[in-house]
Amino acid sequence: MRSSRRGRSSRAPKREVSLIVGTAHLATREWTPHSPTRLSILLACPEYPCNIRRYFLRNLMSNIGTEEFPLGHKSSRSALMRVSRSSSGLGSIICSGSGLGLVRFDSIQKILKDARSSTFGCSVELGTHFRGILFWCKGASIGWHSDDNRSYLKQRDFAAVCYLNSHGKDFKGGAFHFKDGEPSSVFPVAGDVLIYTADDRNVHSVDEVLDGERLTLTLWFTRNRAHDEDAKLISHLSKSLSTHDKIFPLFLPLPASSNMYWFSDGVSGFDIRCARIQNFGFRFCLSKDQKISNFTVPDDSLELLNMPVRLSRGGETYSKEFINSLHGLQAIQFYYLKASEMLALGRKQGSAAESEGIHLLKKMNGSELVLPCDHLLAEKVLGSFMYCEHETMPFSWDEFSMAVIRWEEYMCSLYEQLVMLVPHWVTHQTIFLVHTSDF
């Protein structure tokens, strides 16, 4: 469905260069324009507003690991699928306890800020009005619009859309179009970044997502420092770090209320955590303690997903207790992301899981949680892409155990980075990339 069709702006400068296509080099943070002539026109523009209105960088983020990036957010976000498009802003990511990706947000933002100032010639220090991961479920689309097209959005000056997964591979549909100028269409590929001015020189739309889930990291930059979200976020983050002296309360996902994960079409419904876990072939089980003490099942059985759970698969239950269902889901997602590496590593090292003392409790009948989940509806809403992703992957508990250990190591390393970065952010009141030599 298309909406708010708008004409081309009279503000468009005469000597306009529509687009620069370049290849970014992450190591040096430089990029090579595919057309040097265009670059010299670009460099001749001293101030904003300048002649460049958009900028398309292929492969800017490929080395950053786009698939890992949304991992924490994928499992911590709530459903909010009534509108098909949901977002996990940095604020909500921190508040949900899933601080993962924050460090990555920071490095990506630095690259984008550099790209923006060299491209758009904007000499004013820009603040970040919003950065977040946008999830586009099946059925999501957005009609013709410019990103500052509401009075409350006027503070947006530049948009940067970083594609975290790929058209054709991860989702169908979901192509991006500019109403005029080049490129007229962009078919997202993980790692590509599109930067454009938020005004009506860049009227654009996104086609309906026909299947799968489209993921972007979207940032809006502002010249009005009063709308910079950094100060708020830094204050929240430094409070969290000082309150929690251990990594886990900060990094493990704290669930929202259960109805936030519930999707209903009015007749039946499903819990997004259940739908996702069953897609991977797992089931949630009661924790050991709940079995031993005469645990009373809460009236709303979905509340059990906010309590410690265990995971089972094919009639076997894994002994580790996860602090809640989102924590278990994160471990599963990490396993599938890293499964091929784990397989290779496992073959080299033998059964690392056994040496680390992880055992399976076999055939624990009766402890599986019976939860309401309409799988046909889940498939209809989330798309069949979700249901075929992992079918071909052979599963191994040993490798799963290794993945759980690696996941925790990975969270610890991010936490350590955060502990070093936050004091710098507090001093400068901005989230920025601090070089390790400055620590």
Ligand X SMILES: O=C(O)CCC(=O)C(=O)O
By C-beta, is 206 or 360 nearer to ligand X? Answer: 206
CB of 110 to ligand X, least distance (A): 21
Binding site partner of 160, from Fe ion, ligand X, none, Cβ cut-off 5-8 A by kind: none
**Are the C-beta atoms of 375 and 269 separated by less than 8 Å?**
no
Q: Does 200 bind Fe ion (CB under 5 A)?
A: no
Q: Does 55 bind ligand X (CB under 6 A)?
A: no
CB of 134 to ligand X, least distance (A): 6
CB of 218 to Fe ion, least distance (A): 8
Q: Does 193 bind ligand X (CB under 6 A)?
A: no
Q: Does 196 bind ligand X (CB under 6 A)?
A: no
Separation of alpha carbons 73 and 89, rounded Å = 9
Exactly one of 120, 176, 322, 334 binds ligand X (CB under 6 A); which one? 176
Residues 390-419 that bind Fe ion (CB under 5 A): none
Q: Does 216 bind ligand X (CB under 6 A)?
A: yes
CB of 127 to ligand X, least distance (A): 19
Separation of alpha carbons 212 and 170, rounded Å = 6
By C-beta, is 133 or 323 nearer to Fe ion? Answer: 133
CB of 159 to ligand X, least distance (A): 7
Separation of alpha carbons 439 and 323, rounded Å = 33
CB of 211 to ligand X, least distance (A): 17
**Are the C-beta atoms of 362 and 397 separated by less than 8 Å?**
no
> What does residue 55 show for φ and ψ, rounded to 5 degrees?
-155, 125
User: Pattern of binders to Fe ion over 104-143, x per CB under 5 A?
Assistant: ----------------------------------------
CB of 204 to Fe ion, least distance (A): 6
Provide the 8-state DSSP code for 302.
G
Exactly one of 118, 218, 238, 240 binds ligand X (CB under 6 A); which one? 218
CB of 208 to Fe ion, least distance (A): 15
CB of 161 to ligand X, least distance (A): 5
Roughly what angle, to the nearest 10 degrees, separates helices 397-428 and 325-349? 120
112 residue type, one letter: L
> What does residue 78 show for φ and ψ, rounded to 5 degrees?
-90, 170
In the block, residue with structure tokens 């265009």: 38
Residues 134-173 that bind ligand X (CB under 6 A): 142, 147, 161
Exactly one of 77, 106, 147, 209 binds Fe ion (CB under 5 A); which one? 147
Tokens representing residue 81 in the block: 């699928």
By C-beta, is 84 or 301 nearer to Fe ion? Answer: 84
Separation of alpha carbons 255 and 234, rounded Å = 22
Binding site partner of 161, from Fe ion, ligand X, none, Cβ cut-off 5-8 A by kind: ligand X
Residues 335-354 that bind ligand X (CB under 6 A): none
Q: By C-alpha distance, which of 70, 60, 57 is closest to 27?
A: 60
By C-beta, is 35 or 218 nearer to ligand X? Answer: 218
Contacts (Cβ under 8 Å, ≥6 apart) of 279: 386, 387, 389, 390
184-195 burial string, b = 16+ CB within 10 Å, else e? eebebbbbbbbb
Binding site partner of 201, from ligand X, Fe ion, none, Cβ cut-off 5-8 A by kind: none
**Are the C-beta atoms of 328 and 284 separated by less than 8 Å?**
yes
Separation of alpha carbons 211 and 138, rounded Å = 5
Q: Does 148 bind Fe ion (CB under 5 A)?
A: no
Roughly what angle, to the nearest 10 degrees, separates helices 397-428 and 102-120? 50
Residue numbers of the site for ligand X (CB under 6 A)? 142, 147, 161, 176, 204, 206, 216, 218
Q: In the complex, which residues of this chain contact Fe ion (CB under 5 A)?
A: 147
